[in-house]
Chains A and B, each alone.
Chain A
Amino acid sequence: MVISGSAWGSEMSLVHVTGISKQYACGAGFVRAVSDVSLSIEPGEFVAIRGRSGSGKSTLMHLLGLLERPDCGKYVLKAREVANLSEDARSSIRSDEIGFIFQFPALLPRVSALENVELPLAYAGIRRQERRARAKDALDRVGLADRVHHLPNQLSGGEQQRVVIARAVVNNPSLILADEPTGALDSRTGDEIMSLFAGLHRDGRTIVVVTHAAEVAARARRQITLHDGRIVEDIPSQPRVPGKGGGGSLPQ
Chain B
Amino acid sequence: MNVLDSLQLATRALRVNKLRSALTMLGIVVGVAAVVCMVSVGAGAQAEVSERIRTLGANLLLVMPGALNSGGARLESGTQPTLTEEDAAAIRRALADVQVAAPLLSHAMPLVAGNRSWTTLVAGINPDYLVAREWQLAAGRSFTGSELETAAKVAIVGSIIVDELFEGRAGFGETFRIGNVPFTVIGVLDKKGLGPAGRSQDDVVFIPLSTAKSRVLGAVHGTTRDALDFISIKVADASAIPDAQADIEALLRQRHRIRGDAASDFRIENPADVLNARGASVRILGYLLIAIASVSLVVGGISIMNIMLVSVTERTREIGLRIAVGARRRDIRRQFLIEALTLALAGGLFGAFLGAAAAVAIALKAGWPILISPWAIVLACGFAGVVGISFGLYPAHRAARLDPIVALRFE
Contact = CB atoms under 8 A, between A and B. Distances in A.
A14 to B, nearest CB: 18
B405 A67 contact: yes
Contact of B322 (A68, A87, A92, A123): A123
Contacts of A108: 318, 321
A54 B2 CA distance: 40
A57 interface: no
Contacts of A111: 12
Of A62, A94, A128, which is in contact with the most chain B CB atoms at under 10 Å from its CB?
A94
A94 to B, nearest CB: 5
B164 interface: no
Given A106-B317, A123-B331, A91 B326 contact: yes
A88 B329 contact: yes
B324 interface: yes
A119 B12 contact: no
B404 A95 contact: no
Q: How large is the interface on A (under 10, 10 to 19, 20 to 34, 35 or more residues)?
A: 20 to 34
A56 interface: no
A122 B1 contact: yes
Of A92, A102, A108, A125, which is in contact with the most chain B CB atoms at under 10 Å from its CB?
A108
Interface string B393-411: 0000000000011001000
Contacts of A36: none
B330 interface: yes
Interface in A128-185: 128, 167, 171
Given A67-B404, A68-B405, A92 B16 contact: no
A120 B328 CA distance: 11
B330 to A, nearest CB: 7
Contacts of A123: 1, 322, 325-328, 331
Interface residues of B, number: 21
A96 interface: yes
The secondary-structure label for the interface of chain B is helix
A128 B322 CA distance: 18
A87 B403 CA distance: 11
A102 B331 CA distance: 22
B318 to A, nearest CB: 6
Interface string A69-98: 000000000000000000110011011100
Contact of B325 (A68, A94, A110, A128): A94
Interface in B363-411: 404-405, 408
A136 B317 CA distance: 25
B408 A88 contact: no
A65 interface: yes
Nearest to B8: A115
A142 to B, nearest CB: 16
A92 B329 contact: no
Contact of B330 (A88, A100, A125): A88
A232 interface: no
Of B2, B324, B326, which is in contact with the most chain A CB atoms at under 10 Å from its CB?
B326
Given A62-B405, A94-B324, 20 more contacts: A67-B404, A67-B405, A68-B405, A87-B329, A91-B323, A91-B331, A92-B328, A94-B323, A94-B326, A95-B327, A100-B325, A107-B321, A110-B12, A119-B322, A120-B325, A120-B326, A122-B1, A122-B5, A123-B328, A171-B326
Interface of B: 1-2, 5, 12, 16, 317-318, 321-331, 404-405, 408
Q: Which 7 A-B pairs have the closest CB atoms?
A: A95-B326, A123-B326, A91-B328, A120-B325, A122-B1, A88-B328, A94-B326
